Chain A
């Protein structure tokens, strides 16, 4: 009788992934314009290969994701950012 009501004991408690509330850093910081000239800032939105990170990882809103991708493409055109690279930036 007693064995039913106590729950199954795990060796170590399963770490439930606490869902971190994602926020758009542009809305929070009140940034209105993404500058294509400042490569350091844009690098935060690129992965190691130099590809643009998707919204589901960075959590940015659609409006600013478009501005970021437009700025990255302009920076790539001006050779401020590489199109493809393998070294860790």
Chain B
């Protein structure tokens, strides 16, 4: 059964724009290839970290909300650990309250845009 997950990962700031896109694309394809379905994606771009990670004080944040089979998560996390461009990641299983919260947030974000 497809459960809904939310994953946020931070990429090292030393990467160029192209490498960042390529890293994000790699994970997006990884999810879609294994019968995952991406619900929402958000790029927070370069942000200052609250404390230095691996001697770096900034990082590229990226959020992906997706539906996937629970077995996919272990594989996804191995991919994260293996990829040295990603300095930190967090995957989070969403329950009904967090799903409702995410939808509400997207709704009023769309409103403010147009």
Contacts and interface: CB of A to CB of B under 8 A. Distances in A.
Interface of A: 32-33, 35-37, 74, 76-83, 85
Interface size range of chain B in the complex: 10 to 19
Grouping DSSP codes into helix (H, G, I), strand (E, B) and loop, the A interface class, with mixed when no group exceeds half, is loop
A35 B101 contact: yes
**Residue of A32, A33, A74, A77 with most chain B CB atoms under a 10 A cut-off:** A33
A54 B53 CA distance: 28
Contacts, number: 38
A26 to B, nearest CB: 11
Interface of B: 8, 10, 49-51, 53, 59, 61, 63, 88, 90, 92, 95, 97-98, 100-101, 105
Contacts of B97: 32-33
Contacts of A85: 50
B100 A79 contact: no
B88 A78 contact: yes
Given A76-B50, A77-B90, 8 more contacts: A32-B100, A33-B101, A35-B105, A77-B88, A78-B61, A79-B50, A80-B50, A83-B51
